[in-house]
Amino acid sequence: MGVKVEHLRFSYDEKVNVLKDISFRADSGDVLAVLGPNGVGKSTLFQCLLGFLRPSEGTVELEGRDVQHMTNSERAKAIAYIPQSAAPVFNYTVLDIVTMGMTGQMRMFESPGPEHRERAMETLRSLGMDHLAHRGCNQISGGERQLMLLARALVQDAKILLMDEPTANLDYGNSYRVMERICTLGSRGFTVIFSSHEPGHALRYADRVLALLDGTVLAEGTPAEVLTEEALTRLYGIPVAVREVDVNGTGFPVSVPYRDE
């Protein structure tokens, strides 16, 4: 099932199309990386996937259903969203934030009960975060905060996870740790779609890559097919070399921008 996007067009002012005829699919178990320079329409595409923006043309299907025909709670059961970062105005506990992910499963006037909190704790435990459950969400590190958002998305019970630059505000080590966890989600049956400005993440962690340029699909396929030196150079407007680095007998593809002498 997963996500199926067909001939998607979107414009904010009915004059300039931000998205022009985008088509792709991500099946259950796929980890799809969305790459493209700033302003290419990644955020707009994500808003269309979440059903917040109505496409001018084309369709977005989540688990076989048109997202525009789904109610808020139906959408929440199909797709969970993980923003770039969370800096809540109020210093809720980590457990409170994770429990919020279950709101779509509750009735209008229902509040979370012990069973919801236990489930949130179980999810935090599975991420090795349970000891932070009662800590203020503004008192934990950036990496922990990103895992907290992941936990919140996981308790939502959606099989599609949409992540907007999940490592954008993280240091080198935390980026690695968060991406390591994200890539295991695909093998557990989740459909993971993440955007990134780091081609190395797509090369290493994604099963498929969607490269966007000027609101259209430049290329779609496996990382090896899509992330060629030519494609990356065209995508970012700088010369990029793609090499394989051997570490303890395992080859890791890396991309390196360089100055064109």
Partner 1 sequence: MQDTRSPDLDGIRAEEPAGRRFGSISGDVSGEGRYALRFLILIILFVLVFFGSFVLGRYSVSVSELFRILSKGPFLHSGDIQDAVVWNIRMPRILCAMLVGAALSTAGASYQGMFRNPMVSPDLLGASTGAGFGAAMAILLSLGYVGIMVCAFSFGLLAVFLAYMVSRMSRLESTLSMVLSGVMISSLFSACTSFVKLVADTEDQLPAITYWLMGSLTSVKNVDAIFAFVPIIIGLIPILLLRWRINLLTVSEAEAKAMGLNTEQLRLIVIICATLITSASVAVSGMIGWVGLVIPHFCRLIYGYDYRRLVPASILMGATFLMIVDDVSRCITTSEIPLGILTSFIGAPVFIYLILTGGEDRGR
When binding is defined by CB under 8 A, the residue of 22, 32, 33, 185 that contacts partner 1 is: 185
Within residues 143-182, the interface with partner 1 by CB under 8 A covers 143-144, 147, 152, 154, 156-157, 162, 174, 177, 181
Nearest to 6 by CA among 54, 51, 57, 42: 57
Within residues 58-97, the interface with partner 1 by CB under 8 A covers 72-73, 75-77, 79-81, 83, 86, 88-93, 96-97
C-beta of residue 77 within 8 angstroms of C-beta of residue 155: no
How far apart are alpha carbons 245 and 254 in whole angstroms? 7
How far apart are alpha carbons 234 and 143 in whole angstroms? 32
Q: In angstroms, what is the minimal distance from the CB of 66 to partner 1?
A: 17
Please provide residue 242's backbone torsions phi and psi, each rounded to the nearest 5 degrees: -115, 125
Binding mask 127-146 for partner 1 (x = CB under 8 A): xxx-xx-xxx--xxx-xx--
When binding is defined by CB under 8 A, the residue of 26, 35, 50, 98 that contacts partner 1 is: 50
Instruction: Report the largest interatomic distance among the alpha carbons of the chain, rounded to a whole angstrom.
Output: 65
Residues 6+ apart with CB under 8 A from 181: 127, 147, 150
Burial class (CB in 10 A: 0-12, 13-18, 19+), 172: exposed
Q: In angstroms, what is the minimal distance from the CB of 229 to partner 1?
A: 33
Binding mask 207-236 for partner 1 (x = CB under 8 A): ------------------------------
Question: HSE (CB half, 13 Å, CA atoms) of 35?
Answer: 29
62-69: Cβ within 8 A, 24+ apart: 62/3, 62/160, 63/1, 63/2, 63/159, 63/160, 64/1, 64/4
Stretch that binds partner 1, among 18-26, 56-64, 124-132, 246-254 (CB under 8 A): 124-132
Please provide residue 34's backbone torsions phi and psi, each rounded to the nearest 5 degrees: -105, 115
Looking at the Cβ atoms of 91 and 224, the one nearer to partner 1 is 91
Looking at the Cβ atoms of 40 and 185, the one nearer to partner 1 is 185
Residues that bind partner 1 (CB under 8 A): 47, 50, 52, 72-73, 75-77, 79-81, 83, 86, 88-93, 96-97, 100-101, 103-106, 108-112, 115, 118-119, 122-123, 125-129, 131-132, 134-136, 139-141, 143-144, 147, 152, 154, 156-157, 162, 174, 177, 181, 184-185, 187-190
